[in-house]
Amino acid sequence: MSRDRTGIRDLEGGLSELAGLRDLAVEAASPGEIESGGLGLTLEWGFADSPFGICSIGWNPRGVCHLAFHDSPKGFPEGMLRSWPRAGFSRNDKLAARMAGKIFQKKTGMRVFVRGTAFQLKVWRALLQVPAGSLTSYSRIASAIGTPRASRAVGTACGANPVAYLIPCHRVIHENGIVKGYRWGTERKRAMIAGECPANQNGVHDGKDPMERGRPRPLEAAAAPRTVS
């Protein structure tokens, strides 16, 4: 595995060698659950603080089904309603705060429960095998999952990711190293990349809020990707 001058890992040889680096189980909704819009499902949800701003989290006993970021804790998360329009919902901000603690402190044993097409699920599972502190590109994910001409479709699948951060679409950047086009904001994406660089992973911090750390830095300074031999 190699790394080019943009800091992007070469994953074209396949993702299998990275398997197991992300302790997250993905369960896909059944065709019947998708067709019914979640009829009969009950989802708990709530707003919570996170290192990257206010987030909304939705979950049920099968896993986290929604995670998105917001400017303020108002209204109902539109993305969750689009995914599960006929499900029942129960708001619980206290439990959402506890869930956020587990997610952003990187507790093991997390599960996600998502609806998506076969192609989207393939992309999302591939993203889980890009380890923290590393970056890849849309075209390289496309090649790694056996569809080398589908980089645009990979980008669309990343944009449809219903579970931010846990499914780490923020680790995918353009081939030229540019960080942009993140559904929840470029500054937030830079902050996530900065927070996963080896120095911060080892407990060395500069005393700044993650969003402040990510804001002014160019990609090369923020990402500091490591190589794996």
Residues with a catalytic annotation lie at 169
Spatial CA neighbour of 175 closest among 214, 143, 136, 130 = 136
Cβ neighbours of residue 148 closer than 8 Å, sequence gap 6 or more: 139, 142
Query: Do 113 and 66 contact (CB within 8 A), yes or no?
Result: no
3-state secondary structure of 104: helix
CA distance 54 to 73: 7
CA 200 to chain centre: 18
CA distance 225 to 134: 5
Cβ neighbours of residue 77 closer than 8 Å, sequence gap 6 or more: 45, 56, 58, 66, 68, 70
Spatial CA neighbour of 132 closest among 99, 156, 104, 161 = 104
3-state secondary structure of 201: helix
